[in-house]
Amino acid sequence: MTQMTHARRHPAFRPVQIVAHRGASEDAPEHTLAAYRKAIEDGADALECDVRLTADGHLVCVHDRRVNRTSNGRGAVSALELADLAALDFGSWKTRESVRARGEEPDWEHRPEDREATSVLTLERLLELVADAGRRVELAIETKHPTRWAGQVEERLLMLLKRFGLDAPPSPEESQVRVMSFSARSLHRVRAASPTLPTVYLMQFVSPRLRDGRLPAGVRVAGPSIRIVRNQPAYVERWKAAGHRVHVWTVNEPEDVDLCVDLGVDAIITNRPRAVLRRLGR
């Protein structure tokens, strides 16, 4: 993989925010405490996580509907209780060899004895990590859909954010948390309950009704994939002209970082926060 060694300048009036996708997930197992600790150490401005609801009502940070890919267990998150998930190993699949295969030296190592670092991560624990970071670290939380717990995910999420005093910021611009989803309905539920909590509409493709720069009602941040941005960079200009911000996922290659900066996007979501920060001269 191409190394990011070229410092690139970006507009001083609004630095591009670097968001660690599932933590520093290219170096450490995604959605684990180890990955998020490393992202904070690497200097990420924000952390991205996916949340799913367990059978007994806990929000956990797991991307896939099933745990098969990222743990030594099997089954759907929604059918398992937190205790079932806590018994699994979410770290051993990510080996030092997989990092070395990229021609890099790993600075993370799976240690079976460090259970907390590679156990299932609850959103509550991640919020505690952010609160104790020693600096402002924002959090981009994606609700996963479809789900058997439709509506309950958003309800539990807002309840948990309220416990941390993050559910009702004075304004979207001052919020430390934003909620993202491919589901406009999910974002509508969030906005109805907490109007000042910013929302991001994620897109794998741009539907015809949104090609003029519009977003679903009340949403102020577009979340296109890097594929959309590569193929149709004019969409970024349209969203910006409509007064929206643009957060692009998942941006890992140097040329894609440069493209996003040149287009004036507001946030880059990446598996490689340290490398991207270096690319930007930070």
Is residue 110 among the annotated active site residues? Answer: no
The answer to whether 60 touches 50, Cβ cutoff 8 Å, is: no
Look-up: residue for tokens 């004895």?
113
The answer to whether 92 touches 110, Cβ cutoff 8 Å, is: yes
Phi and psi at 83, nearest 5°, equal -65, -35
d(CA 36, CA 47) in angstroms, rounded, equals 7
Token duo for residue 205: 């493709």
The answer to whether 266 touches 16, Cβ cutoff 8 Å, is: yes
In this structure, the number of other CB atoms found within 10 A of the CB of residue 211 comes to 12
Task: State the catalytic residue, choosing from 10, 31, 58, 63.
Answer: 63
The answer to whether 28 touches 38, Cβ cutoff 8 Å, is: yes
Enumerate the H helices of 10-151 as residue ranges. 33-42, 82-86, 96-100, 115-118, 123-131
Is residue 244 among the annotated active site residues? Answer: no
Token duo for residue 153: 């995910």
Closest CA to 269 of 5, 26, 14, 8: 26
What 3-state class would DSSP assign to 263? helix
> Which residues carry out catalysis?
21, 63
